[in-house]
Structures are given as structure tokens and as C-alpha cells.
Amino acid sequence: MAADRITRSLTGRWLPTDPKAIARLRGCTPTVIPLQAATLLTTAACLSLAFSMGRAEVSFGACIVFSAATVLTRVLSVTPGALGVREFLIGGLAVATGFELQDAVIAASAVRVAEVGVIFALGGAFSYELSKRVTSTFDREQ
């Protein structure tokens, strides 16, 4: 009952009322769920690798829990890119589950550095490709 009341109060403000828009949202669900699962598992694998590089014995299941907690940083962004928030969350969860704080923060920071490196590499490559396409389109129009 409370869920229905909440849904009714949100409809029109944040939730679409158009039946076609609702159908489009339902159609996205089969695509979004596998992508989120892949993101969760990839982040868990990166954390597991980072922990193992630091000689910390952390199970893959614990890394999945840490990875799931970082999903919150994508939703509740306090700082740009959740900088420091993810590391704080992973460190707090590590201490709560009996792991060392410094191992968790170093592993989370290593994953962050790797992600930023990939973003810069792909961003540079795709920016170069985009500039080539824009230039060739501009040359053809003249």
C-alpha cells in the first residue's frame, strides 16, 4: 500500500505518465541489467586483482560486496566523479568485515588510477577519431 502511494505521488513529477514512455523504460531493462552485472563483476575483478597485488587475502565474494557498495557512489555523487567517496566506502566496509584499512584504500585507489588511465587513453583515441571525421566532413562540404 505504501509503495502504491509513493508511486502515485512520484508519477508526473519524476516518473513518466505516458504509456509509451513507460513501455520504453520497461524495454530498456533487459539491456541495463546485464550491463550493470558486467560492471559489478568487472569492478570486483579489478578490486580482487588490486588486493592480491598488495598481498591481502580477500575473497572474490568480498570484492563483489565492495563493488556493489561502489554502485551507490554512482547514484549518490557528493563530489565530482565520487572522488574519494568510493575509497571511503570500500575502506569502511573493509574495516567492518575485518580487513585492513590501508589495504582496502590502496586497492580502491589503484582501481581508480587504472580507470582514469583507461578513460584518458580511450578519450584521447576517440577524440582523435572524431576530429578526423569532423575535419573530413568539413572538407567535403566546402
Residue 24 lies in a domain: no
Helix (H/G/I), strand (E/B), else coil: 83:
coil
pLDDT digits (tens, 9 = 90+) for 14-31: 555 666 666 666 666 667
Residues of the chain with pLDDT below 50 are: 1, 3
Res 45: pLDDT: 93
114 lies in which domain range? 41-141
Residue 113 lies in a domain: yes
Which of these, 53, 51, 54, lies nearest to 97 by C-alpha position? 51
Res 80: pLDDT: 78
Maximal C-alpha separation, the chain: 66
Residue 20 lies in a domain: no
Rg (CA), the chain: 21
Res 7: pLDDT: 54
Residue 6 lies in a domain: no
Residue 30 lies in a domain: no
- Burial label for 49, CB within 10 Å (0-12, 13-18, 19+), is middle
Question: What values do phi and psi take at 101, rounded to 5?
Answer: -60, -45
Residue 11 lies in a domain: no
Res 60: pLDDT: 92
When divided into structural domains, the chain yields a total of 1
Res 23: pLDDT: 61
Give strand pairing partners of 15: 11
Q: Could you tell me the three cell numbers for 73? A: 557512489
Residue 35 lies in a domain: no
Residue 83 lies in a domain: yes
CA dist 139 and 132 (Å) reads 10
Residue by residue, DSSP assigns 87-127 as HHHHHHHHHHTT--HHHHHHHHHHHHHHHHHHHHHHHHHHH
Res 78: pLDDT: 77
